[in-house]
Amino acid sequence: MSDAINLDAYLRRVGWAGPVAADLATLRGLAMVHVATITFANLHPLMGLPVALDLVTLQRKLVDEGRGGYCFEQNLLFEAVLREIGFEVSGLIARVLWRHPEDAETPQTHMLLHVVLDGEGWLVDVGFGGHVLTGALRLQSDIEQATGHEPFRLLQHDAEWRMQSLARGEWRTLYRFDLRPVPMVDYVVANHYVSTHSASRFVSNLLLGRTTADRRLSLLNYEFTERRIGHEPTRQRLRDVAELRELMEREFLLRIPSDADFNRRLEGLPRD
């Protein structure tokens, strides 16, 4: 199998039927359809399975087998797609601050992408779970930018940038980063930590996210949250494994393993 991305297969996977080009419309459009069809998911870390980051494995898992993945998998695949189309793109790494204080010292555990288009910088990120960026952000500080959902903005202090979203009337930071290109080995190390370390929430919780044109969907263990634009979030507490599996397939479009080990892992998830 070639280590080049099968662009046609990817476009079929995300339901993109039109032409593609290295332009802003394609960049924004593919980011939107990607997060609506390829679910953010951490099933491998949850089951104690390795998370491989080579392109052959990513394409087989996320494209051919119709499964989901988390930030390194999602953005590495998207980076390969953009490069195949003709974009100038490089990977960055970030320290997540979502649900943390602004001054928290967090590890570099999140990947995002820097695209240069007609000499201008843009950011895309298809791997931030249920609050993922829908579209692309111009690399410009202190301006509110429209996305497919909430407004986003970037703040800059010296070499550091912060990505924020306007969530329920309050600007909240998703993560902080700089613009230095990141070698693959740094993603490998960060991915190993996220997928195996006992302190990582990815190994002890079920975390799913999918964002459609009008809904943000997230699942934390047995709690399903649906956010519609202009409405208060609705939350549903799932009763058992059967209901959890049905929702994972219906709302998150996942092909769920039928083996007993997976069911036992779901049964043992926190219920609080």
Q: Quick one: pLDDT at residue 1? A: 35
103 is catalytic: no
Q: Which of 243, 204, 203, 194 is closest to 223 using CA atoms?
A: 243
125 counts as catalytic: yes
Cα(2)–Cα(24) distance, integer angstroms? 28
Q: Which of 34, 44, 71, 149 is catalytic?
A: 71
- Options 34, 110, 114, 149, the catalytic residue: 110
110 noted as active-site residue: yes
pTM > 0.85: yes
pLDDT band at 272 (very low <50, low <70, confident <90, very high): confident
- In whole angstroms, what is the distance from residue 236 CA to residue 41 CA? 19
- Residue 118: DSSP 8-state: T
Q: Which residues of 236-259 are buried (b: 16+ CB within 10 A; e: fewer)?
A: eebeebeebbebbeebbbbebeee
Handedness of CA 71, 37, 60, 23 (dihedral sign): negative
* pLDDT at 268 exceeding the cut of 60: yes
Instruction: Please identify which of the residues 44, 114, 125, 131 carries the catalytic annotation.
Output: 125
Instruction: Encode pLDDT of 197-239 as tens digits.
Output: 999 999 999 999 999 999 999 999 999 999 998 889 999 999 9
Residue 129 has pLDDT above 70, yes or no: yes
Angle in degrees, 0-180, between the axes of helices 71-85 and 184-196, rounded to the nearest 10: 150
Residues 170, 178, 131, 258, Cα dihedral to 10°: -160
At residue 99, the pLDDT reads: 87
